[in-house]
Chains A and B, each alone.
Chain A
Amino acid sequence: MEHTDYAALGERVYASKLPNGLQILALRRPEYSRQFAFFATRYGGMDLRFRGEDGTGWVDTPAGIAHFLEHKMFDTEDGNALEILAANGAVDNAFTAAHITGYYFEGTRGFEENLRTLLSFVSVPYFTPESVAKEQGIITQEIRMCQDEPETVAYYQLLECLYAHHPIRNQVVGTVESIAGLTPELLYACHRAFYRPGNMVLCVAGRVDPDRVADLAREILPPDASAAAQVDLGQPEPPGAVRPTARREMAVSMPLFALGFKGEPAPAGERLRQELVGQLACEVLLGPSSPLYRRLYEQGLVNATLDCYYDAAPGCAHLMVSGESRDPEQVLEQLLQEAGRLARDGVDEGLWERLKRAAYGGMVRRLNSLESTCIDLAQAYFEGEDYLRFPQRFQSVEREHVRQLIARWCTRERAALSLILPAGGAAQSRERR
């Protein structure tokens, strides 16, 4: 199999595309005890409307279906895949995000056998009306649990403020009502539309033999090389936020907030570069060594829970700040002021050099994790880009790019603030013995 060396990072990645369109990426890490495999499809919680199999009409599916499908994929004719892998000592799991669904396992032995299991349960659907009904009960519990998570509620409340109709507004898990109508037929249709090898990537890392991985994938996956269904993400979004603020009361000890600045999606081939510029903009605005962070912290307006990051999916991108604060409105005001100052005066050169260096170190550190690295490689592949070329991207990014992004995105018109306020969080206690 062909490979690429990334000398500055000490990495080698083997890559190959099978005739059925499946991309295989293998990161050799012989010094690790574990092997990790990640099998993902470019399909997630926001891909709700797609072109039907006859190629003419559009199919609308209920919110939460990609996540529901992820849960159901673990059912096989021979039992639950989780249990099969666990019986082999491996740990496996899956996640559904807005635009990707990934399945993975990690283990220290039986890699090939586990990989067979993974490839087979993800590619062979097996649903019955009974198993779907049962899963509705389980996922209803998961939805309830999300409803009790203040961070999750704050996040989606913010997306509803920022976006008019982009499907990222939908909760990945869906709602109790939206999943109630799911049927095996609908799940099979989504599997056919998006779980085709040409829409998927298999990324492995650790002590692995890339050629064996390719052989197994060839043997187990279908030969079908057709493209995935076309997805409709709706009309382009207006540039501004649709609602400046929203609030809700929950059992929390102090106000929690998520605030966002609506941006624009990056052009093809530029997504990782925009992500880097966006991340650096976050560091400049509100990172731990920024002047504003120190001011807010010293005023007691933010604490160590504060997080500021760039977030994007096909058709949308935004900067996001979340944390706890006694006065989130004040945080937004000072942030807008600081953004105005940076847009006018530009980024301090000393700060810029330090932040770039620190961000570079952060990306090198992330490579310690097989999980993160495989997921990053897979996501970049879906964007048509090469994740491990980040040293080159660092060289091409200048502080003027960061200034421009802040000037364009971080304005009052593009800002929204989502609040979670304390409501009767104190517990009542009863005891009996």
Chain B
Amino acid sequence: MQIRHKALAEGVELAVCQSEQFKTGLLSVTLAVPLAQRTATAYALAPEVLFRGSRNYPDMERLSAAADQLYGAVIGPGVRQRGESQCVSFLCSFIDDRYALDGTALLEPAAQLLGEVLLDPATEGGVFCKDYVAGEGANLADEINARVNDKRGWSIFRLTQEMCAGEAYALDKLGDAQQAVALGPQELWGHYQRLLEGARVIFYYGGSAEPDRVEQAVRRSFASLIRDRNTHLPCQVVARPGQGVRRVEEGMDVTQGKLAMGFRTGGVTMGTPDYPALLVCNALYGGTAHSKLFRNVRERMSLCYFVSSMLDAVKGLMVVSSGVEFAQFDRAEQAILEQLEAVRRGDFDQAEHQAAVRSVVNALLSRRDSQGQMEQDCVTQLLAVGGWTAPEELAAAVERVSPQQVAHVAGQIGLDTVYRLTEKEEG
């Protein structure tokens, strides 16, 4: 099950992962542009407006009915951030032809429906419908404002905003709530046309159909997108933190504190030679239930309800996220840093190293078992490094990582910013 990818035009690619493993097929279109203050809100809003209705299915009820007819095809937009790119994606998951009760082919009509939503929207006076723009603008503003409801997610979001202030990375991929309600149909239409003309385009298909059949369906349904374009998608990697650790503390009406700590990975990112070692290092330090953070800070010292580390391998960041009692902030922070120090010293045994390697290998090979994860990985890699590395290949590199390499990579990791979400002060 290899992924085959080819250019359909300059800056327009098609990746196909042919397999009979799943009951469904997945088709996605991703429009990728640099994340920018001026355009982020419009690019997050446009796909929501598109899913309010197309020319042939001009409202949600009819659009949804068309998807129901395709055995409940799941069709919808997704805005993703990859490094400092904003990826506006349109996804359609539909059951494989083999399981349709009446034996109809579903790939072609699904591609057609998706193409119609993107390229033939419902309009009023040549631009998006006014009510749809107003309604979705309000929804987007609500969604942005609702980030605060999930306290763990909020603490990580606030951390990266503070840590990467001044870098495009700190911008919200959903844009700005005030801009969202202020955008009018004419202005949004202009933005969307520029997105269609300028974005890098990636089509992805996973499912049982032959690549040729997929290409034909894509060419037929997305003809106007398949034109040359030249989009540069930069991502500023800050190898090391500035002078002094930046500290931010915010109060909120919560019963449990959240501690989020942001690190720079010393310039190690996806595609660099040390990347496999960084994966092992993260797993050993805080990525699994066998990690140092889990076993020591959570289990042995009982300092946190949860504590784990995660990577953004495109941007070169590591974040440690934990839930702690207010009184334990200082002790938890200290313990978390001591564990990193231990990894740097090479203070871990063969069993810990092996467990970390196994868990990374397991996670990589498991990606094969999810159509959605394969899509994510393929799009991420094509955007970040311009090519596709199979999970098996990366897993083999991970197996070769030595304890010395792990300690060396840990030595490159530097603490940049600490964010604490604590209880609200009285008065």
Contact = CB atoms under 8 A, between A and B. Distances in A.
A83 B290 contact: yes
B327 interface: no
B149 A252 contact: yes
A212 interface: no
A231 interface: no
Interface in A249-276: 250-254, 256
A interface SS class:
mixed
Nearest to B372: A368
B287 to A, nearest CB: 10
A222 B148 CA distance: 49
A365 B95 contact: yes
Interface in B144-175: 145-146, 148-149, 151
A330 interface: no
A355 interface: yes
A367 interface: yes
A429 B158 CA distance: 11
Contacts of B253: 250-251, 423-425
A32 B371 CA distance: 12
B68 A141 contact: no
Given A303-B142, A367-B23, A148 B254 contact: yes
B249 A251 contact: no
A424 to B, nearest CB: 6
A60 B355 CA distance: 42
Which of A256, A358, A359: most chain B Cβ within 10 A?
Answer: A358
Contacts of B252: 251, 425, 427-428
B73 interface: yes
Given A86-B359, A364-B23, A298 B142 contact: no
A368 B371 contact: yes
B23 A89 contact: no
A280 to B, nearest CB: 12
Which of A83, A300, A359: most chain B Cβ within 10 A?
Answer: A83
B234 interface: no
Interface string A366-405: 0111100000000000000000000000000000000000
Nearest to A108: B365
A358 B246 CA distance: 51
B289 A31 contact: no
Interface string B90-102: 0001110011010
Interface stretch (B36-44, B58-66, B194-202): B58-66
A247 interface: no
B71 A288 contact: no
B256 A145 contact: yes
B290 A358 contact: no
Nearest to B138: A300
Contacts of A423: 253
A89 B250 contact: no
Size band of the B side of the interface? 35 or more
B57 to A, nearest CB: 11
Interface in B43-80: 59-61, 64-65, 67-74
A430 B424 CA distance: 11
Which of B72, B98, B370, B421: most chain A Cβ within 10 A?
Answer: B72
B72 A428 contact: no
Contacts of A90: 362
B367 to A, nearest CB: 8
Nearest to A294: B61
Given A80-B299, A324-B142, A429-B250, A298 B135 contact: yes
Interface string A77-117: 00010110111111110000000000000111100000000
B64 A288 contact: yes
A64 interface: no
Contacts of A137: 302
Contacts of A138: 302, 305
A234 interface: no
A430 B250 contact: yes
Given A10-B98, A253-B148, A433-B246, A82 B289 contact: yes
B151 A148 contact: yes
B280 to A, nearest CB: 12
A430 B289 CA distance: 34
Q: Which 6 residue pairs across A and B have the least CB separation, nearest first?
A: A89-B358, A358-B72, A361-B71, A86-B290, A141-B305, A289-B64
20 contacts: A10-B23, A32-B369, A33-B366, A83-B290, A89-B357, A108-B366, A148-B254, A251-B148, A253-B142, A254-B145, A288-B64, A290-B61, A300-B138, A304-B143, A354-B65, A358-B68, A424-B253, A425-B148, A428-B425, A433-B247
Given A289-B64, A433-B246, 20 more contacts: A31-B21, A83-B290, A86-B290, A88-B358, A89-B359, A91-B363, A251-B148, A253-B146, A289-B67, A298-B131, A305-B146, A357-B68, A357-B69, A358-B68, A359-B72, A364-B23, A364-B99, A370-B369, A425-B148, A430-B251
